[in-house]
Protein backbone atom coordinates (compact mmCIF):
# COMPACT_ATOMS: atom_id res chain seq x y z
CA UNK A 1 0.00 0.00 0.00
CA UNK A 2 2.97 2.33 -0.41
CA UNK A 3 1.34 3.87 -3.48
CA UNK A 4 -1.72 4.81 -1.39
CA UNK A 5 0.52 6.31 1.30
CA UNK A 6 2.40 8.30 -1.35
CA UNK A 7 -0.88 9.47 -2.92
CA UNK A 8 -2.05 10.82 0.44
CA UNK A 9 1.31 12.49 1.04
CA UNK A 10 0.92 14.33 -2.27
CA UNK A 11 -2.84 14.96 -2.16
CA UNK A 12 -3.37 16.69 1.20
CA UNK A 13 -0.37 19.08 1.26
CA UNK A 14 -0.88 19.69 -2.48
CA UNK A 15 -4.55 20.58 -1.95
CA UNK A 16 -3.57 22.90 0.90
CA UNK A 17 -1.02 24.72 -1.28
CA UNK A 18 -3.52 25.00 -4.14
CA UNK A 19 -6.24 26.40 -1.87
CA UNK A 20 -3.79 28.81 -0.25
CA UNK A 21 -2.68 30.14 -3.64
CA UNK A 22 -6.26 30.50 -4.85
CA UNK A 23 -7.22 32.30 -1.64
CA UNK A 24 -4.40 34.83 -2.13
CA UNK A 25 -5.58 35.48 -5.68
CA UNK A 26 -9.30 35.69 -4.94
CA UNK A 27 -8.93 37.51 -1.59
CA UNK A 28 -5.94 39.85 -2.04
CA UNK A 29 -6.87 41.80 1.10
CA UNK A 30 -6.47 38.77 3.33
CA UNK A 31 -3.30 38.13 5.27
CA UNK A 32 -1.14 35.05 4.81
CA UNK A 33 -2.51 33.77 8.12
CA UNK A 34 -6.13 34.09 6.95
CA UNK A 35 -5.38 32.35 3.65
CA UNK A 36 -3.61 29.53 5.47
CA UNK A 37 -6.48 29.18 7.91
CA UNK A 38 -9.23 28.89 5.32
CA UNK A 39 -7.08 26.53 3.22
CA UNK A 40 -6.55 24.11 6.11
CA UNK A 41 -10.30 24.09 6.78
CA UNK A 42 -11.07 23.30 3.15
CA UNK A 43 -8.63 20.38 3.28
CA UNK A 44 -10.24 19.12 6.51
CA UNK A 45 -13.67 19.30 4.85
CA UNK A 46 -12.50 17.36 1.80
CA UNK A 47 -10.97 14.69 4.03
CA UNK A 48 -14.21 14.50 6.03
CA UNK A 49 -16.30 13.89 2.90
CA UNK A 50 -13.81 11.31 1.56
CA UNK A 51 -13.71 9.42 4.85
CA UNK A 52 -17.49 9.48 5.34
CA UNK A 53 -18.09 8.42 1.75
CA UNK A 54 -15.64 5.54 2.14
CA UNK A 55 -17.32 4.53 5.38
CA UNK A 56 -20.80 4.50 3.85
CA UNK A 57 -19.55 2.34 0.96
CA UNK A 58 -17.95 -0.10 3.41
CA UNK A 59 -20.99 -0.30 5.70
CA UNK A 60 -23.44 -0.90 2.87
CA UNK A 61 -21.16 -3.52 1.29
CA UNK A 62 -20.49 -5.60 4.42
CA UNK A 63 -23.54 -7.72 5.20
CA UNK A 64 -21.59 -9.81 7.70
CA UNK A 65 -20.38 -7.24 10.24
CA UNK A 66 -17.53 -9.42 11.44
CA UNK A 67 -16.11 -11.28 8.44
CA UNK A 68 -17.05 -9.39 5.25
CA UNK A 69 -14.16 -7.49 3.64
CA UNK A 70 -13.89 -4.32 1.58
CA UNK A 71 -10.65 -2.97 0.14
CA UNK A 72 -11.41 0.60 1.24
CA UNK A 73 -11.20 -0.38 4.92
CA UNK A 74 -7.48 -1.00 4.48
CA UNK A 75 -6.69 1.48 1.71
CA UNK A 76 -8.25 4.50 3.37
CA UNK A 77 -6.42 3.71 6.61
CA UNK A 78 -3.17 4.07 4.67
CA UNK A 79 -4.47 7.17 2.90
CA UNK A 80 -5.38 8.93 6.15
CA UNK A 81 -1.89 8.59 7.68
CA UNK A 82 -0.42 11.48 5.62
CA UNK A 83 -3.50 13.56 6.42
CA UNK A 84 -2.98 13.17 10.18
CA UNK A 85 0.69 14.15 9.81
CA UNK A 86 -0.22 17.11 7.57
CA UNK A 87 -3.05 18.27 9.86
CA UNK A 88 -0.79 18.18 12.92
CA UNK A 89 1.61 20.49 11.09
CA UNK A 90 -1.31 22.66 9.92
CA UNK A 91 -2.40 23.07 13.56
CA UNK A 92 1.10 24.20 14.47
CA UNK A 93 1.13 26.57 11.49
CA UNK A 94 -2.08 28.26 12.69
CA UNK A 95 -0.47 29.00 16.04
CA UNK A 96 2.76 30.06 14.32
CA UNK A 97 0.85 32.79 12.48
CA UNK A 98 -1.04 33.82 15.61
CA UNK A 99 2.19 34.23 17.56
CA UNK A 100 4.11 35.93 14.75
CA UNK A 101 3.43 39.55 15.71
CA UNK A 102 3.65 38.93 19.45
CA UNK A 103 6.93 37.04 19.30
CA UNK A 104 8.42 39.70 17.03
CA UNK A 105 7.44 42.55 19.33
CA UNK A 106 8.63 41.11 22.65
CA UNK A 107 11.59 39.14 21.32
CA UNK A 108 10.27 35.77 22.45
CA UNK A 109 11.37 32.80 20.40
CA UNK A 110 8.75 32.30 17.71
CA UNK A 111 8.88 28.51 17.66
CA UNK A 112 8.54 28.24 21.44
CA UNK A 113 5.64 30.67 21.47
CA UNK A 114 3.81 28.72 18.76
CA UNK A 115 4.43 25.37 20.47
CA UNK A 116 3.24 26.70 23.83
CA UNK A 117 0.10 28.06 22.18
CA UNK A 118 -0.51 24.75 20.40
CA UNK A 119 -0.09 22.70 23.56
CA UNK A 120 -2.25 25.07 25.59
CA UNK A 121 -5.17 25.54 23.19
CA UNK A 122 -5.21 22.38 21.06
CA UNK A 123 -3.80 19.80 23.46
CA UNK A 124 -6.78 17.45 23.24
CA UNK A 125 -6.78 17.56 19.44
CA UNK A 126 -3.04 16.90 19.45
CA UNK A 127 -3.59 13.87 21.68
CA UNK A 128 -6.37 12.71 19.34
CA UNK A 129 -4.08 12.91 16.30
CA UNK A 130 -1.22 11.19 18.11
CA UNK A 131 -3.47 8.39 19.38
CA UNK A 132 -4.97 7.94 15.91
CA UNK A 133 -1.52 7.61 14.33
CA UNK A 134 0.03 5.38 17.00
CA UNK A 135 -2.93 3.27 18.21
CA UNK A 136 -6.12 3.43 16.12
CA UNK A 137 -4.59 3.18 12.63
CA UNK A 138 -2.09 0.39 13.55
CA UNK A 139 -4.99 -1.55 15.05
CA UNK A 140 -7.02 -1.03 11.89
CA UNK A 141 -4.16 -2.13 9.66
CA UNK A 142 -2.35 -4.88 11.55
CA UNK A 143 -3.91 -6.00 14.85
CA UNK A 144 -7.50 -6.76 13.87
CA UNK A 145 -6.53 -9.39 11.31
CA UNK A 146 -9.04 -10.06 8.55
CA UNK A 147 -12.17 -9.12 10.48
CA UNK A 148 -14.15 -5.99 11.33
CA UNK A 149 -14.17 -3.98 8.08
CA UNK A 150 -17.76 -2.98 8.87
CA UNK A 151 -16.69 -1.32 12.12
CA UNK A 152 -13.77 0.43 10.42
CA UNK A 153 -16.31 1.88 7.99
CA UNK A 154 -18.42 3.08 10.91
CA UNK A 155 -15.45 4.97 12.34
CA UNK A 156 -14.85 6.58 8.94
CA UNK A 157 -18.46 7.84 8.89
CA UNK A 158 -17.72 9.75 12.11
CA UNK A 159 -15.87 12.28 9.94
CA UNK A 160 -19.14 13.45 8.34
CA UNK A 161 -19.44 16.20 10.94
CA UNK A 162 -16.02 17.67 10.08
CA UNK A 163 -17.10 19.68 6.98
CA UNK A 164 -19.85 21.40 8.96
CA UNK A 165 -17.49 22.18 11.84
CA UNK A 166 -15.00 23.63 9.35
CA UNK A 167 -17.69 25.68 7.58
CA UNK A 168 -18.73 27.16 10.91
CA UNK A 169 -15.15 28.29 11.57
CA UNK A 170 -14.89 29.75 8.06
CA UNK A 171 -18.10 31.76 8.59
CA UNK A 172 -16.70 33.11 11.86
CA UNK A 173 -13.46 33.98 10.08
CA UNK A 174 -15.52 35.94 7.54
CA UNK A 175 -17.43 37.75 10.34
CA UNK A 176 -20.67 35.95 9.48
CA UNK A 177 -21.20 34.42 12.91
CA UNK A 178 -24.56 36.20 13.27
CA UNK A 179 -25.84 35.15 9.86
CA UNK A 180 -28.72 32.77 9.21
CA UNK A 181 -26.32 30.45 7.37
CA UNK A 182 -24.17 30.13 10.48
CA UNK A 183 -27.21 29.18 12.57
CA UNK A 184 -28.35 26.58 10.03
CA UNK A 185 -24.83 25.19 9.82
CA UNK A 186 -24.70 25.06 13.62
CA UNK A 187 -27.81 22.89 13.62
CA UNK A 188 -26.14 20.54 11.12
CA UNK A 189 -23.02 20.42 13.30
CA UNK A 190 -25.11 19.32 16.28
CA UNK A 191 -27.09 16.80 14.23
CA UNK A 192 -24.17 15.18 12.40
CA UNK A 193 -21.92 15.15 15.45
CA UNK A 194 -24.58 13.51 17.61
CA UNK A 195 -25.57 10.91 15.00
CA UNK A 196 -22.12 10.13 13.57
CA UNK A 197 -19.97 10.41 16.68
CA UNK A 198 -22.25 9.59 19.63
CA UNK A 199 -25.01 7.31 18.32
CA UNK A 200 -22.38 5.60 16.17
CA UNK A 201 -21.31 3.37 19.05
CA UNK A 202 -24.77 2.05 19.99
CA UNK A 203 -25.28 1.49 16.26
CA UNK A 204 -22.15 -0.68 16.03
CA UNK A 205 -23.08 -2.69 19.13
CA UNK A 206 -26.64 -3.12 17.85
CA UNK A 207 -25.40 -4.31 14.44
CA UNK A 208 -23.21 -6.92 16.11
CA UNK A 209 -26.05 -8.00 18.41
CA UNK A 210 -28.51 -8.39 15.52
CA UNK A 211 -26.17 -10.62 13.57
CA UNK A 212 -25.42 -12.94 16.48
CA UNK A 213 -28.84 -12.78 18.17
CA UNK A 214 -27.63 -10.94 21.27
CA UNK A 215 -29.67 -8.19 22.98
CA UNK A 216 -28.01 -4.78 22.79
CA UNK A 217 -27.38 -4.54 26.53
CA UNK A 218 -25.56 -7.90 26.50
CA UNK A 219 -23.25 -7.14 23.58
CA UNK A 220 -20.50 -5.48 25.70
CA UNK A 221 -20.25 -8.71 27.72
CA UNK A 222 -20.00 -10.89 24.61
CA UNK A 223 -17.12 -9.16 22.85
CA UNK A 224 -13.43 -8.98 23.85
CA UNK A 225 -12.62 -6.54 26.64
CA UNK A 226 -10.12 -4.64 24.51
CA UNK A 227 -12.90 -3.80 22.02
CA UNK A 228 -14.91 -2.12 24.78
CA UNK A 229 -11.82 -0.27 26.02
CA UNK A 230 -10.97 1.03 22.54
CA UNK A 231 -14.57 2.11 21.90
CA UNK A 232 -14.77 3.87 25.27
CA UNK A 233 -11.44 5.62 24.62
CA UNK A 234 -12.67 6.88 21.25
CA UNK A 235 -16.12 7.84 22.50
CA UNK A 236 -14.98 9.78 25.60
CA UNK A 237 -13.48 12.78 23.77
CA UNK A 238 -16.44 12.79 21.38
CA UNK A 239 -18.82 13.30 24.33
CA UNK A 240 -16.61 16.09 25.66
CA UNK A 241 -16.48 17.84 22.28
CA UNK A 242 -20.25 17.43 21.86
CA UNK A 243 -20.77 19.07 25.23
CA UNK A 244 -18.58 22.01 24.12
CA UNK A 245 -20.55 22.30 20.86
CA UNK A 246 -23.87 22.27 22.74
CA UNK A 247 -22.62 24.95 25.13
CA UNK A 248 -21.47 27.12 22.24
CA UNK A 249 -24.76 26.60 20.38
CA UNK A 250 -26.71 27.56 23.50
CA UNK A 251 -24.74 30.80 23.83
CA UNK A 252 -25.25 31.57 20.13
CA UNK A 253 -29.02 31.07 20.10
CA UNK A 254 -29.43 32.66 23.52
CA UNK A 255 -27.63 35.83 22.39
CA UNK A 256 -29.74 35.88 19.20
CA UNK A 257 -32.94 35.64 21.24
CA UNK A 258 -31.80 38.48 23.48
CA UNK A 259 -31.16 40.71 20.44
CA UNK A 260 -34.60 39.93 19.01
CA UNK A 261 -36.22 41.16 22.19
3-class SS string, the chain: CHHHHHHHHHHHHHHHHHHHHHHHHHCCCCCHHHHHHHHHHHHHHHHHHHHHHHHHHHHHHCCCCCCCCCHHHHHHHHHHHHHHHHHHHHHHHHHHHHCHHHHHHHCCCHHHHHHHHHHHHCHHHHHHHHHHHHHHHHHHHHHCCCCCHHHHHHHHHHHHHHHHHHHHHHHHHCCCCCCHHHHHHHHHHHHHHHHHHHCHHHHHHHHHHHHHCCCHHHHHHCCCHHHHHHHHHHHHHHHHHHHHHHHHHHHHHHHHHHHHC
Looking at residue 107, its pLDDT comes to 46
Across residues 208-235, what is the average pLDDT? 93
pLDDT value for 98: 79
Is the pLDDT at 42 greater than 70? The verdict is: yes
pLDDT at residue 105 tops 90: no
Average pLDDT, the chain: 90
For a pLDDT cut of 90, what percent of the chain falls above it? 63
Average pLDDT for 1-24: 94
Q: Quick one: pLDDT band at residue 63, thresholds 50, 70, 90?
A: very high
pTM above 0.85, yes or no: yes
pLDDT at 160 over 70: yes
Amino acid sequence: MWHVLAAGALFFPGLYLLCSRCARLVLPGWSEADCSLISSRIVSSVQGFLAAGSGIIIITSCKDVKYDRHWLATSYNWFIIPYMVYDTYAMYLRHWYKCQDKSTSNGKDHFSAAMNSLLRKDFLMLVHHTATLTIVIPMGLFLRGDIGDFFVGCLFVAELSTPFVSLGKVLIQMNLQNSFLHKVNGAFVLLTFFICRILLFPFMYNAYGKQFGIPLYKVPFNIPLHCNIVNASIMAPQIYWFWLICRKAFRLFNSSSSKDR
